[in-house]
Chains A and B, each alone.
Chain A
Amino acid sequence: MGKTLFDKIWDRHVVQNVEDGPTQLYIDRLYAHEVTSPQAFDTLRDKGIKAFRPQKVVAMPDHNTPSDQQERIDDPIGRKQVETLKANCEEFGIRHFAMGTHDNGIIHVVGPEKGLSLPGMTIVCGDSHTSTHGAVGAIAMGIGTSEVAQVLASQCILQSKPKTMRINIEGELQSGVVAKDVALYIMAQMTTSGATGYAVEYAGSTVRNMSMEGRLTLSNLSIEMGSRAGIIAPDETTFEYLKNREYAPKGDAWNAAVEAWKQLVSDDDAVFDKEVTFRAEDIAPRITYGTNPGAGIAIDGTIPTMDSLSEAEQVQLRGMLDYMQFEPGEKLEGHPVDYVFLGACTNGRIEDFRAFASVVKGRKKAENVVAWLVPGSWMVRDQIIAEGIDRVLDEAGFELRLPSCSSCLAMNPDKVPAGKLAISTSNRNFVGRQGPGARTILASPLTVAASAITGVITDPRKI
């Protein structure tokens, strides 16, 4: 029987299988940010040990960094956390991309664009959206802080091998429909726990035709249906994206690497524990209406009605809609919004800014809307400026901010006020996610752009 792509990479990294226990898995790359690492470094200090392979670790602050200026962090607690990361990196000899330098950005944007995440690798970070890096053809998984300490101490983690699932998406996407819509659609079909216990591989013609940025968005959202990993077989699109990146192999080493990476595909006779197929033509621009990312509809659809649901589902829907201040059966297209957010590890890449700009070009931002446009990294920001996208945004009344996780999770000044409604390219619409009491609708950069112009939830196909 053939092997899946996930199995191939996993098997190559097995140090040992513990008897009636987990696998000891070797990790090629640990990313560390300021939020989930301080207590891990404390563990090493407690034990009096050094980082085992510090050259395989890359750290940068992203969650606490402000997006309006990066001279200082006003909040003393956030500032201390960012300073602690820097001090820990100095103490343990770890590469650190400091706030405000052009190496910095959101880890899940910076890793792939610097060629630090490569096909065939095992990659972990104390962050559930580490699944993003799977788009380059790597096993990439979020871990907890105890596990961060384990990797710092041994370059290994102990994990039970997940089951495998292949999600095929076939066909051509409609105009106005992008990777974010595909992910939101799959999530609504699968539910937020539909892939728990599995590592997902995305395949099919729709995925093959996606840009690298689109694939990174798709893999990023794997965790929102419970899968820790969302892997995509590397191909010419991957190699083209990675070639000449700062940390990617160069010259003969590059050619040899590409030859090896071409073997990173699921065998034709590989058997997955579960396999599902979706059709691209069924997918419209998507929005969420509830407080988990699976609670979504087509933008021109309506919120489910109570009579279509079981008693338990009714309780859950009522709770979600009470918070969101929506009604069962309501159509959300045309509903006023207060905030728009373009950015996050989901949609903070150059293609997302190009998409946003393509909609707002020659138009004006709605006056009732506060807009935060936050590149995922300095590299993205520099490219936005190099392509003149910043001028398009400026003419349309938008301000380009500085790289940060920003309004994705309310750990920096970009918080949505209580009761306000945001339409956002981020990844989670949980209660209070963008600020206590804030209400979040998840959508694509195109939908967010269209809504920023009209001030109401707007179908990007209709503007």
Chain B
Amino acid sequence: MKEKFDIIRSTCIPIEIDNNNTDNIIPARYLAFTTRDPKFYGDAFMHDLRYDANNEPVADFIMNKPEFSEAPRKGVHEIIIGGQNWGSGSSREHAAWAIAGYGVRVVISNSFADIHRNNLLNCFVLPVVVSRDFQLELFETVKANPQAEVLVDIPNQTVTNMTTGHSESFPINKYKKYCLMNAFDDIDFLLNNQQKIVEWENR
């Protein structure tokens, strides 16, 4: 799960659902487990849209179409293009575990819910915020050609549609960028700063 970030060039899965809330990303019944197994959560990713009540794949759901059904690996489906307000609702980090466990490393949208965005970062999945126009262009490109690639360059903070050559820069603060590029956790930072915490308590 904690792979250092640099440049990711990959085909994409277009999940064009607005307000794709975390109940959609992983239904509540998967929250009762105490495991941390990435595959367990990855298998549950978008479960109730991917599978019907008899656990049969829903043929017309985008992730089940032959051109998008391959599980992510290097260069393939490592990027999701998501709808507006991605990850709204419940704070369940299981949703980020599901995305990471499935093998996705980047989610691109024009807007993310605040808690889910932090959860993605803590799971070493990069949320990339682009303009609405660029988001729509990416959907169009990927739907027209499932082999189309998108390049996400973390050091330079740019995302590029390799088909059209269009590019946008995306925001990420220097601290978080350092974390992603060095596989460094917030908890390690906090443990290294314990003296400051004690000073604050005694101020």
Contact = CB atoms under 8 A, between A and B. Distances in A.
A78 interface: yes
Size range of the chain B interface in the assembly: 35 or more
Contacts of A16: 193, 196
Contacts of B48: 431-432, 436
Contact of B114 (A197, A430, A432): A197
Contacts, number: 174
A292 B21 contact: yes
B200 A126 contact: no
Size range of the chain A interface in the assembly: 35 or more
B190 A128 contact: no
A78 B30 CA distance: 10
A24 B118 contact: no
- Give the interface centre of B33, B187, B200 by most chain A CB atoms within 10 Å: B187
A407 to B, nearest CB: 12
B19 A228 contact: no
B32 interface: yes
Q: Give the interface SS of chain B, mostly helix, strand, loop or mixed.
A: helix
B10 interface: no
Contacts of B122: 144, 146-147
A90 to B, nearest CB: 16
A251 B113 CA distance: 43
Contacts of A59: none
B88 A226 contact: yes
A411 interface: yes
A16 B196 CA distance: 8
A35 B200 contact: no
A208 B84 CA distance: 35
B149 interface: no
Interface stretch (A149-157, A175-183, A328-336): A149-157
A430 B21 contact: yes
Interface string B10-31: 0000000011010110011101
A160 B176 CA distance: 11
Contact of A43 (B90, B118, B187): B187
A22 B190 CA distance: 12
Contact of A126 (B91, B111, B193, B194): B91
B191 interface: yes
B33 A77 contact: yes
A159 B176 CA distance: 11
A411 B112 CA distance: 26
B27 to A, nearest CB: 6
B123 interface: yes
A143 interface: yes
28 contacts: A15-B197, A20-B174, A21-B175, A22-B176, A24-B190, A35-B92, A36-B93, A43-B187, A52-B194, A75-B32, A81-B34, A84-B34, A144-B91, A145-B119, A146-B186, A154-B190, A154-B191, A154-B193, A159-B118, A193-B88, A196-B85, A196-B112, A316-B19, A409-B28, A411-B29, A430-B24, A431-B24, A432-B23
Given A36-B91, A146-B119, 20 more contacts: A19-B175, A22-B173, A22-B176, A36-B92, A38-B34, A52-B197, A64-B32, A80-B34, A127-B91, A128-B91, A144-B122, A146-B123, A149-B187, A150-B186, A223-B89, A410-B27, A430-B89, A431-B48, A432-B27, A436-B53
